[in-house]
Structure formats: C-alpha cells, structure tokens
Structure 1
C-alpha cells in the first residue's frame, strides 16, 4: 500500500500565500470571492480567528488551510482507512481526499515505479472549472474554492510534486520516508518532507505578524509578469526538487548543513510568495469569467 504524504507547507505557508493573493486581488474580485466563501459550511468557525480583522480576509486566509485542517476533524474520513461518515449539509461528501494534495513524479527517470494515486494536476483543473462556472451550485463553488486556494500552494512545494524511487519501484513518498537531522530545529530528527513543510514559518503565524511577514516577502519577491499554468508550476517544483530538495552528504540519515538550510529557506519563501501572486491571477481570471455578461466592460 502506498502511504500518503504529510500536509504540504504548514499553516504558515498557506496563510502567507493567501495573504499575498488577497493583497494582490482587486476589490471587485475580493467581494465576489467573499460572497462564495460565506456559503461554506465552516465559514462561521473561520471567524473565530478574526480578532477584529476584516471577516472576508479572515475567511480567505482560514480557507487556505481548511483542506489540511479536516485531517483532524472527526466529521471527515480517510478512504481505505476509516468508515465513511454521514454527509453533512453543504458538503458533497466527507472524504479527506488526501490524494488531491500531491503528485509522485519520479526524480530518477527510468525508475520502475508504482502507480501514484496523487492527482493534484487533474484536481487543480477540475476545481478551477467549478469555481469559475456561475451555473454551478453555490454550495459546490463554496466547497471547491478553499481546495483551489490550498492546492495552488501545494503545487509550489517541491516535495508535493516529486519522489525518489528505489530499485523495487517503491517511492519515498515525497521525502516522507527519508529521515534527516535538522540542527536548526528544537527536535532535529524529522522527515525531509516535514523539513520543507516548516520552512515558511511557525504554524501559528496570523494577524499582524502574518502581515509583516508578507510585507517583507513581497518586497523581496515582486509579482512576475506572467502567472503561467498549473502544469508549469508543477514542473518548476519538480525541477527544484530534483536539484535542491535532497541533502547530499551521503549519509543514511543526512544532516542539514547551514548552506543547504539557507538555500532551502530562500526557495521556500520564494515559492510561497509566488504561489500567492499566481493564486490571485487565477482567481481574478475565474471570477471575471463568471460575471454576468452585462457586468463586463
């Protein structure tokens, strides 16, 4: 059985991308997004984190982590592991859809590989179609939108697009089966996947500290001229994984060096910021396309 990877980018990484996107979006698109998110069954619970902030911004930022949050939510179940749970109002189903988060493209070309259940490439396209279709039920669009926000971030995490494969065809599941020693962490023994997930910042990052982090990142990494396509984002991440994701000290349990760590930090910060800009671009395109003809210029 193929084990599934841990969550891509911790909560900080997804919130950073969401905040970058929100600051990049125009006001009309923000309003349209907020109207959809208000129909999500968990909208009110997201507001518990507002602390006086704009409720629309709060919903957007909290929606960015929702597909990971449901991993710990007993209303939901994991296919092949848990018994299905009752479908609650506003949801199409209660499955956690762990296979939506990643793609196991081999880093060693020519390797004999097991088929990967990961479908982030296909799911990004499917979710975008739902979000951008005004003929879809509002409940379907409200369910799809947090997933789309989240998976754009996942597509920019190098180890959510790639795995190393052994000669017997088994993968290391995006670094989840590769243990490393990270001397820059309080608990240094961890998986390589977890190491990359945690690079953007502490998972509690919210509020003014989140805004400050985003201001710093957007000053370092300006908005690109072109958003590209999800296929290009995934290919970029795969190439980064091939060239930069794995420590090269030759040990069975490699230790992260200072040089490797500084390079990985720069890559992670660049990727979460870039994901935010690209998320804004795709959402503005989708919501403009969904506007009634009479509202278009």
Structure 2
C-alpha cells in the first residue's frame, strides 16, 4: 500500500461518488452527532476545520483524490471484489478477494494504523482520517463488497424510467429518490432523521450490536466483519433472484426500490454509528512512533495468489468501473 506524498493538492473533482455525496455526508453527520467532545477536537485539529461540518466536508475527498495525479494508487481501496456466487452463496474471503494492490478491508486497517503514528506529518495523518471517513462509508454499501460485473457497474437496469447501472442505483439513485438531489442541507436532514431512529426508534435496540465489531486494535477483523455483513445483502436484497431478474422491468415500478430503501437506510445508520465509535477509539489511543510498524500496509495484504476473474476485470479497467456512467 502507498505512502502518501505530503504536498498533494486537496481539490474537489467529480460528483460520481460511492454512496453519493448525499450518503457519505449523512454518514459523516451521524458520526459527528455521536463522537465525544475530545474526538471532535482531535479531528478538527487534524483536519484544520472547526466548522459544524468538519467530517462532512471531507467525506467524499477520497473519491476526488483517486482521480488526481499521484492518487491513482488508492482506486482499489474503495471496494473488495468478492468472488462469491449470488444468490446461492454470498461471502467475502479476505485471502481470496483482497488483491495484491489492496482493498477496502486492508485500507481501513492501514489508515487506522497511520492516523495515530506521529512518524507521519500532520498532513499525512489528516489524509489518513479523510480516507477512514470515506472507506468506512464505502464498506457498508453492499455492492462495494461484490465482484460480479465490477460490483454491479456492468449490470444495466432501468430505474424510474432511466437507463443506468445497478451500482450507481444503490450509490445515488435510491438515496436521491428517497431524500431528493444532493445538498448539505438534505444530507443533514437525512442524518437527523436516522439519528432519531437510532436514539429512540427502530434501531435503538441494535446499536450495541453494531458497536460490538468496533476494534481499532484489529482493523482487519472489524472491516472484514462489516464487509461480510454488507455482502450478505447481495443475496437477500440486491439480487435475491439473480442478476438477470434485476434487469427485468423498472426497479421502481416493480417494487424493488421500496424493498431496498430499508437496507440503504440501515447501512447508512450503521456506518455513521461505527465511524463515530472508531474515531472515539482513535482519539483516545496513545500516539505512537513505532519504527517497526509497516506504514505502507504491505504486511496487511494476503499471501500472493492468482487473481480471480473479478480482480482481473478490475485491473483491466484500471480499477474503475469501466462503464462510463459511474466510478467507484
């Protein structure tokens, strides 16, 4: 994995983003609601942003960064290409599915390690935090944990009368039909709605279970748990009758959209709660300058093995979607 260059520009680029700006910002606002005052101070100091949107302001930075010169190495960190067989079998196998260039599971573990290591500059730790805010969101989107047709990017469907791909539909189509087109205000309103469901609604009883998988001392284990959890929805909600069935008819008029909404909202809520707990743990962790720690993250990668067909397809596409409409 890559050691970040400290002088890279922090520009904002395309809006074709994982979970979309709406989902990523909502996750960030949920996390901001639950982090401790100490964590808020820590994150604001690292990001040099004392605003009320300090996490939301960087929630999609990683999607812009991967398109910048020098940032291309991070493209495969947004997903893991599970070589499973939906709808009969859904699973993520880290040794099988995380390729030699890294994946979202290894990236979460590596940037968790980097963000508290003071061998790195403040800007490098700032970048590590930005990556964590984004990747913890990404890993909760089911299709970021699936290898078939580059996470559904190659599955053409009809959504509300428009032709698009399945991945883009889950990233942006469903959230924006539910809440309206993107704005910071819409993202905050969605976050507030989900916070009410977390604090005294349908999610309240489950919050403790959501947090049980949060262990910054085992970044790989936590991230792999989340990845398998999200991947399970490929079999139960994303393509429960197979990929061909999803391509028949309009996903709105067929009822697919209505069935998908609860899963989308659940995963956004989970991501926000877990991101807050993750950052709380990091903010209270002692700073370290471990000279033996591999800050490139190479020790986190699986043993080399032949690439799966899904990984070969991703590599041939330059780790993008290869579809023109939407990129990871």
Same fold? TM cut 0.5: yes
Select which of 251, 264, 267 maps to 1:268.
264
Instruction: Find out whether 1:191 has 2:168 as its counterpart.
Output: no
1:17 offset after TM fit, Å? 0.3
Counterpart position of 1:30: 40
**Secondary structure in 2 matching 1:8:** coil
**Secondary structure in 1 matching 2:256:** helix
Deviation string for 1:149-179 (max 9, x for gaps)? 0000000000000133xxxxxxx11000100
TM-score where L is the length of structure 2: 0.67
1:57-96 equivalence runs, <5 A = 57-70=52-65, 76-77=68-69, 93-95=70-72
Change (3 A) 1:8 1:211: closer
CA RMSD of aligned residues (A): 2.6
Q: Is the 8 A contact 1:153 1:272 kept in 2?
A: yes
Q: Which has the higher contact order (CA 8 A, sep 6+)?
A: 2
Q: Distance in 2 between matches of 1:96 and 1:67?
A: 11
Q: Distance in 2 between matches of 1:94 and 1:163?
A: 23
Counterpart position of 2:175: 200
Q: Is the 8 A contact 2:77 2:103 kept in 1?
A: yes
Deviation string for 1:6-48 (max 9, x for gaps)? 742001000000000000011111011000001xxxx6xxxxx
1:245-256 equivalence runs, <5 A = 245-246=238-239, 248=241, 250=244, 253-255=247-249, 256=251
Counterpart position of 2:145: 161
Change (3 A) 1:143 1:115: closer
Q: Distance in 1 between matches of 2:164 and 2:102?
A: 23
Deviation string for 1:80-137 (max 9, x for gaps)? xxxxxxxxxxxxx443621110000023169xx9985551111100000111334432
Q: Is the 8 A contact 1:107 1:242 kept in 2?
A: no
Instruction: Find out whether 1:225 has 2:225 as its counterpart.
Output: no
How many residue pairs get aligned? The number is: 241
TM-score where L is the length of structure 1: 0.73
Change (3 A) 1:284 1:177: same
Q: Is the 8 A contact 2:81 2:97 kept in 1?
A: no
Q: Is the 8 A contact 1:67 1:96 kept in 2?
A: no
Q: Distance in 2 between matches of 1:139 and 1:115?
A: 27
Q: Which has the higher helix share?
A: 2
Change (3 A) 1:96 1:12: farther
Select which of 248, 267, 273 maps to 1:277.
273
**Secondary structure in 2 matching 1:56:** coil
**Structure 2, unpaired ranges of 5+:** 1-15, 91-95, 198-202, 214-221, 289-328
**Structure 1, unpaired ranges of 5+:** 1-5, 44-54, 78-92, 165-171, 293-297
**Secondary structure in 1 matching 2:72:** coil
Deviation string for 1:57-101 (max 9, x for gaps)? 3232111111113356xxx13xxxxxxxxxxxxxxx443621110
Counterpart position of 1:149: 133
Change (3 A) 1:266 1:204: same
